A and B are shown apart, each in its own frame.
Chain A
């Protein structure tokens, strides 16, 4: 029993020491400094209140109707985001359709509502839009009618 007690004390001491030495995960730049990043690589830290990931996030209309979730982003050859693909409609996964909407029609974190994504379109406008299909020309639904077509012969970047 004494041997067991010694072992437990040693293990606890090692564990506590590890906790003190190891970083809890905060401060990525500090960890990067320890990992020998080549000197001179610029990096920026974006905190949660300044930026968010958008894949899978729900989208609502300005009236509050549920519009679906963002599943993909369409970017043109110049690197400008042109459209977001939204998985729209359905019940328990049956009957949902993927529809491309103009990036300009999306508003991220509108005033006073962080983490919310709104779309300047209604469900009625979205419901009969042609489905998005990879490899085919993307039909982008625009809110204001000001969507800019790509130059002749250009297509959005394919996967």
Chain B
């Protein structure tokens, strides 16, 4: 891995008077490997949640109304908790402990789901999971930011994305197999057990190597006594990015479920395998491309890559509308991998860029994440409605149109956010 090339003698980045807690500037291999492993296992854990819960609850004789209620309510809670969670991660001193608590909470919610799937229990488990996930994303980003030097953050985030997508892809196959061979309940037990290697990996990260000031995007010696949302509401690049993310999320989120429904309709025997391929193929490409995206973001800058990631989405929508063959649709999912790789690295990176010095990194991450989640929740219903009324071609083309709006917004209003001191 090239990540170790720039450590040590680095004349472009003059040493900053380090706070007492950060005694080393270069993170150890052990810490970096620990972060890799943590990303991997947390992604494994999170794969078990999501649409699979509806399958599990259906098998527990839940009515569709109850399932919808629980999922909607927990979605709202997770949405509302993103910004407070981000603020919490900014102000917390021990980022590792926060990540560990989140991981344990997610494992606990998986056990609750496996043990006793009655309404109040499942509601509690889902809310717990939502809250813990809101903490987890910023905590991982904060640890990454605090561990590596600021000009290496792009590459580090690329590595995070690589291990996360590897975790997602492998877990999708593993849990699908587990659900077939054992039971749906076993999937949640497996999910809970995966917290153990996650925590082992987390505690290999040496906490003294995480610079807490850098971890929230502050400058050492800078004053950070403003209100928690100070660096956010007046931060124009952040707002533009957030708006673009809403549009992206509006267009992107319903595409996989729509394609999944089409697979089921057009190919009965291979449908399950093809849908699995639709989920795993993008993950493979994210795993391959993310570190490259991270490195290029340092040399090319952020804007070209952002435009690339956003522009791929309308193309994908149009191709979905054009092709009928399920096998071709799987190939088009490669484009999903490209945009997911770009967004997965660029999101935390651009937010880090525009909040540098404000100390509000995680709160900003929470804000932007809320925006994306709002887009996601609205769009799946809307797209399903359009699909039923007007057919899948119109649905995909309208999603492509929304994605095109996002590209336009970025082209016109998004500045280059790479730090100028290069």
By a beta-carbon cutoff of 8 Å, the part of chain A in contact with chain B is 53, 55-58, 69, 71-72, 87-98, 122-124, 126-128, 131, 133, 159
Which residue, B62, B271, B276, B388, has most C-beta atoms of chain A within 10 A?
A: B271
Extra contacts, 5 of them, besides A122-B268, A124-B268 (Cβ < 8 A), are A57-B61, A72-B63, A90-B271, A92-B55, A93-B51
Query: B269 within 8 Å of A by Cβ?
Result: yes
> Once the chains are docked, how many angstroms separate the CA of A127 from the CA of B52?
20
User: Chain A contacts of B268 at CB under 8 A?
Assistant: 89, 122-124, 126-127
> Once the chains are docked, how many angstroms separate the CA of A92 from the CA of B54?
9
Q: Given the known A-B contacts A56-B58, A72-B63, are A91 and B266 also in contact in the complex, defined by CB atoms under 8 Å?
A: no
Q: Which of A90, A97, A126 contacts B55 (CB 8 A)?
A: A90
> Once the chains are docked, how many angstroms separate the CA of A57 from the CA of B59?
6
**Shortest distance between the CB of B415 and any CB in chain A (Å):** 37
User: Chain A contacts of B257 at CB under 8 A?
Assistant: 94-95
Query: B400 within 8 Å of A by Cβ?
Result: no
- Whether A90 contacts B266 by the Cβ 8 Å rule is no
- Whether A56 contacts B264 by the Cβ 8 Å rule is no
> Once the chains are docked, how many angstroms separate the CA of A72 from the CA of B65?
11
- Whether B267 contacts A127 by the Cβ 8 Å rule is yes
By a beta-carbon cutoff of 8 Å, the part of chain B in contact with chain A is 47, 50-55, 58-65, 172, 175-176, 179, 256-257, 259-269, 271-273, 275-276, 278-279, 388
Q: Which of A71, A89, A93 contacts B53 (CB 8 A)?
A: A93
- Whether A90 contacts B260 by the Cβ 8 Å rule is yes
**Shortest distance between the CB of A101 and any CB in chain B (Å):** 15
- Whether A128 contacts B55 by the Cβ 8 Å rule is no
The DSSP consensus for interface residues of chain B is helix
**Shortest distance between the CB of B359 and any CB in chain A (Å):** 39
User: Chain A contacts of B272 at CB under 8 A?
Assistant: 89-91
> Once the chains are docked, how many angstroms separate the CA of A122 from the CA of B269?
10
> Once the chains are docked, how many angstroms separate the CA of A122 from the CA of B268?
9
Q: Given the known A-B contacts A91-B272, A131-B388, are A96 and B264 also in contact in the complex, defined by CB atoms under 8 Å?
A: yes
- Whether A94 contacts B256 by the Cβ 8 Å rule is yes
Q: Given the known A-B contacts A69-B58, A131-B388, are A90 and B264 also in contact in the complex, defined by CB atoms under 8 Å?
A: yes
User: Chain A contacts of B267 at CB under 8 A?
Assistant: 127
- Whether A123 contacts B276 by the Cβ 8 Å rule is no
- Whether B275 contacts A97 by the Cβ 8 Å rule is no
- CB nearest neighbor in A for B259: A95
- Whether A89 contacts B59 by the Cβ 8 Å rule is no
> Once the chains are docked, how many angstroms separate the CA of A75 from the CA of B337?
45
- Whether A91 contacts B275 by the Cβ 8 Å rule is yes
- Whether B61 contacts A55 by the Cβ 8 Å rule is yes
> Once the chains are docked, how many angstroms separate the CA of A87 from the CA of B58?
9
Q: Which of A56, A57, A91 contacts B176 (CB 8 A)?
A: A91
- Whether B260 contacts A95 by the Cβ 8 Å rule is yes
Q: Given the known A-B contacts A91-B279, A93-B52, are A71 and B58 also in contact in the complex, defined by CB atoms under 8 Å?
A: yes
- CB nearest neighbor in A for B271: A89
User: Chain A contacts of B47 at CB under 8 A?
Assistant: 92
**Shortest distance between the CB of B80 and any CB in chain A (Å):** 24
- Whether A53 contacts B264 by the Cβ 8 Å rule is no
Q: Which of A55, A69, A95, A131 contacts B63 (CB 8 A)?
A: A55
Which residue, B53, B55, B388, has most C-beta atoms of chain A within 10 A?
A: B55
- CB nearest neighbor in A for B272: A91
- Whether A90 contacts B388 by the Cβ 8 Å rule is no
User: Chain A contacts of B52 at CB under 8 A?
Assistant: 92-93
Q: Given the known A-B contacts A124-B268, A127-B266, A127-B267, are A92 and B60 also in contact in the complex, defined by CB atoms under 8 Å?
A: no
User: Chain A contacts of B51 at CB under 8 A?
Assistant: 92-94
- Whether A123 contacts B269 by the Cβ 8 Å rule is yes
- Whether A93 contacts B61 by the Cβ 8 Å rule is no
> Once the chains are docked, how many angstroms separate the CA of A90 from the CA of B64?
16
> Once the chains are docked, how many angstroms separate the CA of A87 from the CA of B261?
12
> Once the chains are docked, how many angstroms separate the CA of A71 from the CA of B64?
7
- Whether A94 contacts B61 by the Cβ 8 Å rule is no
- Whether A56 contacts B62 by the Cβ 8 Å rule is yes
- Whether B275 contacts A128 by the Cβ 8 Å rule is no
> Once the chains are docked, how many angstroms separate the CA of A91 from the CA of B283?
16
